[in-house]
Structure formats: structure tokens, C-alpha cells
Structure 1
Amino acid sequence: MFSSKRRKPYLIPVILACAISTLLITLIQVVFFSDDSNHLIFHQNLHVNYEQSSPSLSPISNSFDHDNEFRSGNESESQSCQKNDFYQVKLQEAESELDNLKKQLQDNNPTGKSNYKIGQFHYNSNDIFNYDIGKGEPSFHRFMSEYIDFYLKHKQTIMHPMREYRDYSIYGRPEKVNIEEYGRSDPEDPLSEETLRGFLKNPKELVEELTRNHKIITDAIPSHAPFPFYKGNGYILAANGLYVWQALLNIEVFRALGSKLPIELLINVESESDDTICNVILPKLNARCIHMPTVFGADVMSKIKFGAFQFKILAMLGSRFQNVFFFDCDAMPVRNPDYLFEWEVYKSHGMVLWPDIIKRTTSPDMFKIQGIQVEKEIVRHVADVFTDPKYYKLDKKDEDINWERDVNFHDRKGALPDWSTGGGAILMNKYTHFDVLLLTLYYNLDGPFGYYPLITQSGPGEGDKDTFAFAAHFYNRPYYQPPRPPHYLGVGIQCFESEPVSDFEKLQEAVNDIKVKMERGEKYDYLKMFHDKIEYPNREFLFYHMHQPKWDPFRFMREKMTLNDKGEDQRLLGWMKDVMDLELVCYANMYHDICEMEYQFTCFEGHSQEEKDAICGFLKHRMEWLDDNTWDKKFKGYSYAKFVKEVES
């Protein structure tokens, strides 16, 4: 390109100046003159066509063809190498200057004018190890590190004063707030704006700070994942300590039901892991353990201490699957859920959630923080979002309605529909709902003394459960949630959640029936026409969420939890027809793992030798009693040892 006879010494700084200028101009064009649609295309291209990116002077490429750019055709090889070394140094300096400029732009313009999006600068195909987040990917580490850095700059500094409301009871919820039963006895029990504002008092300064931070965070969240690692379908669970054991029981249930899809188990740190489970048992079941330090990197782990309610979102982010089905360790399926990945309602919505037992108790301030206007207009009745509102409007003229007192707040346009959302299972397409996942993580990072008091106002199950729905609501992303709360059954706190396909079919029947009756002039009756049509026993179930007690066989034996007041055997999970006998299968699996295989599990190391000697007799008796008293013909006489051989073959 340049002849050695014609090259002048002063051309060297000119060439370097041009190279640096090109770098800076390219960056400024990307940062200041790209709009949101360009960012969307940018992220889509990275996701779909990542490996085909060519070396260029762009913010995402660290690959330069130095030899062709600067080599003279008449130079000797040694002269060329010497000059290339010189130019390499200068170009590295230019790249360093570019990186400094990027940092300055991010620090000075985190949102707004710079159109900054988390992760927009960092990715090139040379950085990818094996397209497997679970084995550690530097690009994903940097993305999460950037996300956490950005959050830490904009985390809340004003804490919700909810400690003043706590009585430190066994439930740890406010004494002054009595919202336990809303919707349980009467689904039409109204929760007006006035009632909701009376639960917890939210400091004005807190609401203002969260409003500012929410805008900054959501402006910076990319709409799609800026890396190509999410592929395929699969399940993810998250656990530590004893819950790793419970996760094993859950995974064994998946396989007993015939599930074929891969399963991942995210464990916080390796010290909380179990070698027997991770290295011996799970590999035989097309499942594996992944560990947070490997998935998210040491930098992220050193910057922030994650709590239990962030664990679920991190598991979904760190799973390698694009379509990921999260299950709590204590949420066990009673039907094979593999078919739901192909369900048309899921494909069209991109996310399926399951409801909780009570109505939403969200503070109106939450919608203010999100920048969503809740209007003076009724658009639904409880969970019936389908029937024309003219059939159930209040017997008042609009001008006579006291909107703060007379109307169920979550029936109004702009609010989130009832019922509240549970957290036992979540099915999500991370390509269409990646921004929802990142916003959900933010809600949970600032959750305990920020968003949790706003979303549930210290109601039952306070934590991550409603945050997915609120993130989807903010981004106007579709999702499907069955319209009826779970059905409680058994000893302790146990509930069955709906099988959504049959539930959706019954919902369609109810809606069509209501339409016909309304056209005939009948009066709208929510309980008879809608609620009861899809209530138990007219429902089928997908999974059992066992809040208490957890699956600890030593505790069951020690506290005699499997016996009733008369000292007789009883079922902890109740009696349920037409689904797997979950209790029978779990006891058979526990007997196989602990007694037949004599696996040594970390979580049981502290038990006395006397308890260890007695546990096999307890498990065998329990398994035989359940088998003699089962409704489940398919799993009567179930042998896990035989099942394992079938799986391995």
C-alpha cells in the first residue's frame, strides 16, 4: 500500500493519528447517533450472527489486521517485524485510549443522551471458549460484572422503615398489617386504593429515589442478550445445603415421569455442593451441577453478596437454555412437563407464571415508581380479563364513583390483574424476555427494604414471587398466568398448581359461556360463571409446591411427622387421583439412594449413628405403607433401582 521509496518519516504520526481518529469517530457515532432501533438490531445481530463478525475498527472488535494495514511491499521481513512491533504498541495505546473514553462516557452519561446499554461494548468471537455459560465464559462474566457495577452506582440508599411495623413473630410479618386472608374466603373481596395505601406508609424520599433509579436502570437494560450462549430447552433448579438433596429428589421425579430434557442445578458455592450428587448420580440422569463462581466469575462474586431471592433469577440467567423452565427445589411435578415447551400459548406469550393464594396487595406507589398511570377506568373483574366491563360496572355513574374507595384497585386500567403471582415454577423464553429477567434481578437486589414492601406490603410469601410479573408489566411483555389460585392439600403448607393447558381450555369454555349468557341478558355472576367453572375438582394439576415441611427423612422420623394424633400412618401430601403418587415415589427414591446404594450425602453427615441405623427401617416401612395405600396403578410397586437401569439402557 505504501512504497518504501515514497514514505516520509512524518507519515508515521499521521498514520497513527488517522487510526486513533477513526477509532474515536466510530465510537462517537455508535454512542451519540444511534437510536433504540439500532440498538435492537445490534443486539439481535450479536445473538444470531456472532461468529461472522469481521475484523474492523469498531467498538466490539479487538481484532486488527496489522500486517496488511502497515506493511510495505518492498520491506524485508525483519524490517517489517520491527515496524510492526512499533505499530502494535501504538495501536494498543490507541485501543487503551478508546477503552478510557468508553469508561468516561459510561460514567458521565449512564443513560439518556449516550443511549448507553449494559453490555454493548464487550463482545467478540475471539472471547468465546465453548458456548457454555455453565463452564465459564469471559464474555458473560464481563456482562454480569458491568450489570452489577451499574446497579451498585444506582442502588437504593434510603431503606423502607418496615422494621417499625414488625412484631418479630414466627412469620416475621407486620403486626399492624392484616392482609393474610384477602381473597381466600371471598374472591371478590375488594382491595381499594384507599385500603392498599393504609397497609404500609412509604416515605416520600424512598419513592422519589426508586423512581429515579428505576428510570436509569431500565434505560440501560438491553432488550436482547448481547451474547450467543442461550440455546435449546431445559430445566434449571437452584439449591444450597439440604436443598441440594431436595433438588436431587426433584430431578429423580422428573426422570420417573419420563422427562427427557436436560436439567441443570445451580449451587451457590462449591462448599455447599455434594460430590455424590453432582459427580455420581446426576450425570446418569442427563443432569449436571453448575456453580455460581464459575458461571458468573470471581469479580461479580466479590462485589455483592447474593441472597436467597436473587438466587432464582441468577439461576435462570446462568442456565444455558434459551427456553428455560425453573422449578423451586420444593416444587415437584406430578406430570411430565416437557410438552409445555411446545404449547402454543407459551410460544405466543414467551412466559408462563403460576398464581399464589391471595389477591395482589401492591402499593399504588409501585406503579408510580414504574411510571405507569393507573386510570379511573374498570377494565376487568378480579381474574376475568375477557368479559366486556359493561356487564359488571358499578351501579353508579362515573362521576359519582369514588375511585380511591369504591373500586378494586387492580381492576383498574394500568394496574396488574389479580391473582398475585407465585414463585414455584417459571417458564420463560430468554430471547423474548431477556429485559424482563434483568429488571427482575434489579427488583430483587433492591427488594428487602425497597420493592418487596411495595409489591406485597409484607403479605404472605413476600420475596421474589411477584417481581417477574411486574417486570413484564413494565416492558409490556406478554405472559400467561392461570386465573385461579392453587389448591391446598395435605399436612403443613402444601399446594397443587394448575396444569395450564387443560386450565386454559376450561377458561375458554367459561369465557364463551359468559358471552352467550350476557347476550341473553343474564346478570353477570363472577363466582358462578367464572371462578367455579375452573375451580377444584374441575381442575387438573401439574406440580406440588411443598412449602413446609421440607424433604428431610431424618426430621420426619425424629419428629414422627408421618403419624397422626393416634399414632397411625398418614399421608403428608394428601390423596389426589389421576396424577403420580409423589409421596410414594419420593420414599422409594430415598430408600434406594440412602439404603440400597448407601450413598454418603453431605447434608446428613451430622446425624448420630443411632439415627443412621434407624433410617432405613423407617424408609422401608413408609414406602411399603404408601404402596399398599396408593391410587396410582402406574407407580404401584415402583422400584427406583429398576428405573435407573431402564434410564441407563
Structure 2
Amino acid sequence: MGVLKVLQDLNGSRYQVFLVVATLIILLNVSYLYVIEAQPDKSFPSISSNLRPQTDMTSEKYINVLDNPEVKASKTDVIKKAIAQIKAENEDRIIKVLEKEVRSKNEASILTKVKLTLKRQMIRKMFRQDVMSGRLMDDMKQKYLSDNEHLMKSFITKDLIQGLKQKEEFKKFDDPALKQLAKLLEEQLADRAKNTVFFQYILEELIGAHDPKVKIELHQISENIIPTYINNPDAKNSITLKDLSRLKLKDQQIESLQQSHDRLVRLLTTLEVPKESVFSGDGIVINTGDIGIGSVLVLVSQLRNTGSVLPIEVVMNTWKSADKKICDEILPQFNAKCIFIDRAIPKMSKSLPQKLEKFQYKVIGLFISSFERAIVLDSDNLPIDNVDTLLYCQEFLKTGFLLWPDIWFKSTSPEYYNIARFEVGEPVRRDGLSNNKGFAQYVSSGKKHSNVAFHDLDGLPSAGTAETGQLVVNKRKHIRSLILTLYYNIYGPNCYYTLFYQGGAGIGDKDTFVPALHVFNEPYSMVDKSTDLLGFKSGVNMDGEFVDTTLIQYAPTSAKYHLIEWKKWLKTKDLDTRLSPFQDNDYTRNLYKQFMTHCKKLIEVEEELDDSSIKLKPLFLHIHRPKINPLENYNSLGIRDKRILGKKEEYVPKLGEDSDWELHFHSLSKWIACDLLKDSQIFATFELDQAAVCDGISKHVDYLKATSWFHPSEFVGDVVTLNSPQDDQTLPAKVETEDEDV
């Protein structure tokens, strides 16, 4: 008000008015600068320089008004209007300039504080991770041992030897043998403690701490997906985006799932396995339930029969239910042993679901096995060739993860890909398109590719599902995706199984591996040959509907080279090299027949190929209905009067006429029931009579012999010698006469 009073009293010339207005502007600038107590950054113009052009024009405007004799307004009114207009014109600009100056001065310090806060939080998380994963302890232990190595070794060895010498059964051993034993015990105890800490960390800090706290009810699915074969894209199937959008999630459910998934993925990105790896070496892992131990014995016998020499670990849920004779005496004869989930992970986190299902145990079993590179088999999956070579095939060595295809189209909800942050692109595959149709028309089929199979779009896994009755994995290389797979399975029954299957075929662990691999962009190989089926026809006269009992899975290298030759041939015909040779339609069958004729000609006439370059080689027979299990098959409904792998005309085209694997497997089963388990308590455990079991399986073997096209004396197989502490036993692998067993 003091300034206004001065201005009202002024009766000077135009120069006096100009001086007053300029003085007012300077005072305004100085007052603003005084309030913020900061000098502007040199990179920004000062407030006065920002205001000067505008205020100069305003001043000149009002001076001209004052000079105009026709204007009757008083000088005081003119000056008041000038002040009001200057304020209105410059207030917002003054504030913006001040904001720039404050930001310019303080931005660096604010960023520094934010970085420091984030750094402290990250250090805290990483420290926690290093502690729980055992990495920090490993480093401290390594340093201490390196500083005191001689003293520690001497003390431990001396202490163990003195303790063992007190026991009667060890008095016959000399000192060198006891020293070696002491060393082995020390290593095993250290490994067990290390494994327990690491797995406990995975379950509690990673899995348990990121519970999405979401339960997806079945009623949220508008309609279950109808199972559709991957090799039959002509059939009416639910594969488009619209068809897969069956699951209706609430916004709160999506947000909770996405946030917990994001947090876990961020943690896993920085995860490190302890320096002294909790995994080492190569081996075979078999998961089983209690009564499934019968199938395990058939599988273990068959593995050795086909020449496998890798150590085997049989994963069981609890040591309390294990048969002592089988675990302590029988399996060690095959270089196999039992390991138990409740011993490897003695305390399950309270934040985890307390009741786990078989598929969840299966993935846990993969973690607690000691092998770094593992061949993982279902107990009902029987190889017909040596599986050890899988660890050295190109497909595994290239990626460290080898999978086999299942027979179904994926039924994964698009909501999952939203939750897991997948970016969906344009059509790149044609799994949802019949071979006799054009790809160009397929990709231009309406708005947003409405007729394109959803999983043919770039950025998504392919349309086919994976069948995990067998897989080969480098656990260290793929530890992140394996933990995420475990996460999907732990919270599978409540939400993720519904997201992945939506009521479709094959619910369980099998379709949880591939999505996790894609989340971390980890490489993997899928065997190029689709799955074949074996089975029998139902009905009294065996002329009814086909009942599948067995999945045939093929050797990866033979499938790879078969597909290479197929693509070469398609190029010569100017056809799309993405065409599948295994589609179930007349067009493809005719095309494939031409291809095989072409290959035979190359072999016989031009000799550019050998038979092994194109021949598909079966490797696994996943016999699931019913499983080959002496504890169950002896009295299975109708098993004695049918061949579950089919008659000769169904079996031979796929497996050849120089084998009868069904006879072979049941002969192993008979040997296990009648001889190997002779003194086992397993029969009493399941309230079975061993004599009845042996008799039932023997009668079925007799039936298989009588109906076999393959003369038993022609069967070729390796003889496996079991070094029993009492005497040597021989696992029968070939038959000398028709009266003897396989």
C-alpha cells in the first residue's frame, strides 16, 4: 500500500511514471528472489530477463495513454491498471521461472538422495539373499577354512577316527581307510547343511513371501476349454484370443497376481546360487508316491537293462512311508538311492499351503536332488534305449533344457500373459492352420487377427503343450525359471493351474515350465517330433473306440535331422517350411508319403543319405493306463486278456516287429514281484499277498507270450548283474527258451 500511496501522490512527467513502473518491477523481482533464497542456475535466464520484454511493452503502453490528451482518466487510475495488468501477465511466468530455478538447484541433490535410498534398500535385500542362500556363509567359511585348513582337517579326521575306533564293527579297519571315511562323512554333512539352508530360503523368502493371496474359483470360467489335438488344426478348437478368453478375473485379483509376480521376478533376476553349488554331477531323478515304488523298480531295472550307468535318486515324500529293504538294500544294488523331501526340507514355511499335491511334490523333488544336470523321469515312463546319451546330445548342450511335446493345444488364459508382462506381436507360426491353407490369408484374417491361433503370435510360447514325463535340465543354468516354475506349482491349485488350463487337458505341472522359461528369456529345446499314441480298441471284440494307454516320445537328434530333411524337401516344392509333417489330415499324409519316397530314393540310388538321417527313433514309452507296476497290475481289470500297447498291426508300424516291449516290461515286473521283493515288507504294507501277486503277473506273462509275434528267444538285451551282499543275482533281460521268462 505504501508504494501505491507514493504513486498516487506523483504528478511528474512521463519519465517519472516510467521510472516508478520500472522500480515496482525490480522490487517484485527482488522480493521473489528473497523469498526463495536462491540464485538462479546459469543455464536458465534470470527472472528479470524473462520479464523485461513484456513489462517494457506494458509500461510504454500506459505512458502513451498518459501522454494522450484525449484520455480523461486520472494518472492514479492509469497506474493502478498498469500494476494490475503487470501482475496478471507475469504472476504465472514468475512462478514457472522460480520452479525451474528451484529444480535446477536441487535436482542433483534430490537424485542423489533417491539413489542412496534405493541403494540401501537393494543392499539390504541382497544381504538378506546372500545370508539365506548361504553365499555369505560360504565366503566366510571358505576364508576361515583357507586360513585354518591344516588344523581343521587334522582335528576333524582325528576326532572321527577316535570315535569310530570305539565301535566294534570298525576295529578291523586300518587308519587310512578310517581317514577316507572321515573325509567322506565331513563332505556329506557339509553338503546337507548347505542344501537345507538354500532350499529353505527358496521356499520361505522367495515362494512363501510372494503369495498372491488370490483364489480363482471354477465359476469364474465361463466355459471349460475343449481338449484339442495339436496335430488336428482343422477340427473346431478353442485356440483364438476370443476362444481362450474364458476366465473372467476381477481387477483386484489381476493387480494382486501381477504385483506378487513382479516382485518375485525382480528378486530372481539378481539371485545367485551359492559358490559351492548345492548341485553337482549328472544323474537320473525319479519321483514316486508310496505304492508307485513298484513302477520305480521296473523303471530302474529297465534303465540298467538299456545300458544306463548314471546314478539314480528316487524322490519320496517322507522317510516314514519308505520300505526299508527297498531303500537300504535293493536300490543300492542298482546304484540308486532314496531321498526324502521331509529330510531335505525339514521345516515347511507356515506361509506356504500346508497341503501339497503330487504335482507340487514333483517339482520340489527336482530341487532336492543333488544332480546339477538331471534326467527327470516319471516312474511309469520306460526307456527303450540308453538315456545317458541325452546329456550329450546337441539339443541339450545348446540350451541346457530339453523338453518333449504333448498332444494338446495350449489352453492358457490371455490373462496370464498380462500378469507376467508378455508382449504380444504379429503372427509368426502356423500351428493353428491346416497345411493345405495359405499363410497370407491366415495373417490378414480380420481385425486384430481374430481368426489366428493366439499362440501363433510372436512373443508367446508356441501352441503345443509340453509333456514332462521326461525332461533334461541343467539346474544351475536354469535356477531362476525353475524357482518360478515351483512358484506356479505351489500356488497352482488356487490360481495358476486355472490360468494355465482353464479346464483343458492335462492339468498339473507340465505346462508350468515353458512359461517360466519365457519370463526370463532362457533358452530351451523342444523335440521336433510330435507324440505318437499306442493303445487298444475297447469292447468285447476289441472293435470299439480307441483307448490310448501309451505316449511314444522320440530321440531328439533323430527328430531334428528328420525335420531338417523335411524342410529341405519343402523348399524344392516351393512350400512353406513351417508346414508340420505330422498333421492328421489327408493333405499332409499324402505330402509326407511323397517325402519318404524321396528320402528312400536318395538312400538307395543317389546315396546322399543314410537311413539314420531320416529314421525316427522311439526312446520312451510312457505307459500310463495302466502303469506297469507289480503291486497293482496283478489284478487289474481286464489286463490279462488284452495287450495295452495294441495288437501287432497297431504296434509294429510304430515300434517295429523286432521287439515286444509289453512282454519285456511285464516279465521284469514278474521277476520283481516273485524274486526281487521276496523278503520285503512292501506286500504287508499294502495288504497284499505276495504269492497271489506273483501268480497274477505270471499268468499275464503267459498270455503275452502266447500272443507275441516276437519269439522270446530272439530278444536281445544286456544282462545286468546285481552285486548283492549275500550272493550274485542276475536280472533276466533275454529269454533262452519259451518256458523261461524275459
Do both proteins adopt the same fold according to a TM-score greater than 0.5, normalized to the shorter chain? yes
Q: Which residue of structure 1 lines up, in the alignment, with residue 564 of structure 2?
A: 508
1:432 aligned partner, one-letter code: K
Q: Which moved more, 1:461-470 or 1:611-620?
A: 611-620
Listed as ranges, the matches of 1:207-606 within 5 Å are: 207-221=254-268, 222-226=270-274, 227-298=276-347, 304-375=354-425, 377-382=426-431, 393-395=439-441, 401-403=446-448, 405-491=450-536, 492-518=548-574, 522=575, 526-527=579-580, 533=592, 539-553=616-630, 555-564=632-641, 570-572=643-645, 575-576=651-652, 577-578=655-656, 581-605=660-684
CA contact (8 A) 2:382 2:622 kept: yes
Listed as ranges, the matches of 1:167-182 within 5 Å are: 176-182=223-229
Shift of 1:444: 0.5
Cα separation, 2, equivalents of 1:453 and 1:284: 43
CA contact (8 A) 1:378 1:393 kept: no
Cα separation, 2, equivalents of 1:217 and 1:41: 16
Residues 140/571 of structure 1: CA separation in 2 closer, same or farther (3 Å cut): closer
| Partner-residue secondary structure (3-state), 1:413 | coil
Q: Which residue of structure 2 lines up, in the alignment, with residue 201 of structure 1?
A: 248
Cα separation, 1, equivalents of 2:720 and 2:528: 40
Residues 185/431 of structure 1: CA separation in 2 closer, same or farther (3 Å cut): same
Question: RMSD of aligned C-alpha atoms?
Answer: 4.2
CA contact (8 A) 2:215 2:494 kept: yes
Shift of 1:142: 2.0
Cα separation, 2, equivalents of 1:297 and 1:253: 32
| Partner-residue secondary structure (3-state), 1:466 | helix
Shift of 1:466: 0.9
| Partner-residue secondary structure (3-state), 2:623 | strand
Cα separation, 2, equivalents of 1:154 and 1:449: 14
Cα separation, 1, equivalents of 2:124 and 2:265: 18
Q: Which residue of structure 1 lines up, in the alignment, with residue 211 of structure 2?
A: 155
Cα separation, 2, equivalents of 1:619 and 1:505: 40
Shift of 1:147: 2.2
1:542 aligned partner, one-letter code: L
Residues 39/411 of structure 1: CA separation in 2 closer, same or farther (3 Å cut): farther
Contiguous gaps of at least 5 residues in structure 2: 1-116, 149-183, 537-547, 597-613, 732-742
Q: Deviations over 1:27-55 (max 9, x none)?
A: 9988646999x9999999969x9679754
Q: Deviations over 1:514-561 (max 9, x none)?
A: 33433xxx5778356987659999632111112221234464443442
Shift of 1:590: 2.4
Residues 215/302 of structure 1: CA separation in 2 closer, same or farther (3 Å cut): closer
1:294 aligned partner, one-letter code: R
Cα separation, 1, equivalents of 2:234 and 2:271: 36
2:263 aligned partner, one-letter code: I
- Structure 1 residue 192 corresponds to structure 2 residue 247: no
1:504 aligned partner, one-letter code: K
Q: Which moved more, 1:591-600 or 1:252-261?
A: 591-600
Shift of 1:571: 4.5
Cα separation, 1, equivalents of 2:514 and 2:252: 25
Cα separation, 1, equivalents of 2:318 and 2:351: 13
Cα separation, 2, equivalents of 1:187 and 1:161: 32
Cα separation, 2, equivalents of 1:137 and 1:572: 43
Q: Which moved more, 1:365-374 or 1:141-150?
A: 141-150
Contiguous gaps of at least 5 residues in structure 1: 1-26, 56-60, 66-127, 166-173
Shift of 1:182: 4.6
Shift of 1:642: 6.4
Listed as ranges, the matches of 1:9-24 within 5 Å are: none
Shift of 1:211: 0.8
| Partner-residue secondary structure (3-state), 1:490 | strand
Residues 35/153 of structure 1: CA separation in 2 closer, same or farther (3 Å cut): closer
CA contact (8 A) 1:182 1:189 kept: no
Residues 557/301 of structure 1: CA separation in 2 closer, same or farther (3 Å cut): farther
- Structure 1 residue 142 corresponds to structure 2 residue 142: no
Cα separation, 2, equivalents of 1:45 and 1:554: 42
2:273 aligned partner, one-letter code: A
| Partner-residue secondary structure (3-state), 1:599 | coil
1:324 aligned partner, one-letter code: A
Alignment length (residue pairs)? 528
CA contact (8 A) 1:383 1:483 kept: no
Higher relative contact order (CA 8 A, sep 6+): 1
Q: Deviations over 1:383-406 (max 9, x none)?
A: 99xx9xxx95332785x7322522
Cα separation, 1, equivalents of 2:442 and 2:424: 20
Residues 302/293 of structure 1: CA separation in 2 closer, same or farther (3 Å cut): farther
| Partner-residue secondary structure (3-state), 1:368 | helix
2:466 aligned partner, one-letter code: T
Residues 456/549 of structure 1: CA separation in 2 closer, same or farther (3 Å cut): same
Cα separation, 2, equivalents of 1:396 and 1:488: 30
CA contact (8 A) 1:224 1:435 kept: no
CA contact (8 A) 1:482 1:503 kept: yes
Shift of 1:646: 7.9
Shift of 1:208: 1.9
Higher CA-based Rg: 2
Residues 200/34 of structure 1: CA separation in 2 closer, same or farther (3 Å cut): closer
Cα separation, 2, equivalents of 1:462 and 1:397: 30
Cα separation, 1, equivalents of 2:366 and 2:582: 38
1:505 aligned partner, one-letter code: Y
CA contact (8 A) 1:373 1:414 kept: yes
1:229 aligned partner, one-letter code: V
Q: Deviations over 1:260-304 (max 9, x none)?
A: 010000110012211121111111101000111221233559964
Residues 129/408 of structure 1: CA separation in 2 closer, same or farther (3 Å cut): farther
Cα separation, 2, equivalents of 1:616 and 1:397: 60
CA contact (8 A) 1:383 1:419 kept: no
Query: Percent sequence identity over matched residues?
Result: 23
Give the number of the structure whose residues are more often helix, by fraction: 2
CA contact (8 A) 1:331 1:543 kept: yes
Cα separation, 1, equivalents of 2:582 and 2:351: 55
Residues 620/527 of structure 1: CA separation in 2 closer, same or farther (3 Å cut): same
Cα separation, 2, equivalents of 1:321 and 1:30: 36
| Partner-residue secondary structure (3-state), 1:242 | coil
Residues 573/437 of structure 1: CA separation in 2 closer, same or farther (3 Å cut): farther
Cα separation, 1, equivalents of 2:365 and 2:488: 16
Match among 682, 685, 700 for residue 622 of structure 1? 700
Q: Which moved more, 1:277-286 or 1:27-36?
A: 27-36
CA contact (8 A) 1:499 1:542 kept: yes
Residues 523/551 of structure 1: CA separation in 2 closer, same or farther (3 Å cut): closer
Q: Which residue of structure 2 lines up, in the alignment, with residue 123 of structure 1?
A: none
2:462 aligned partner, one-letter code: P
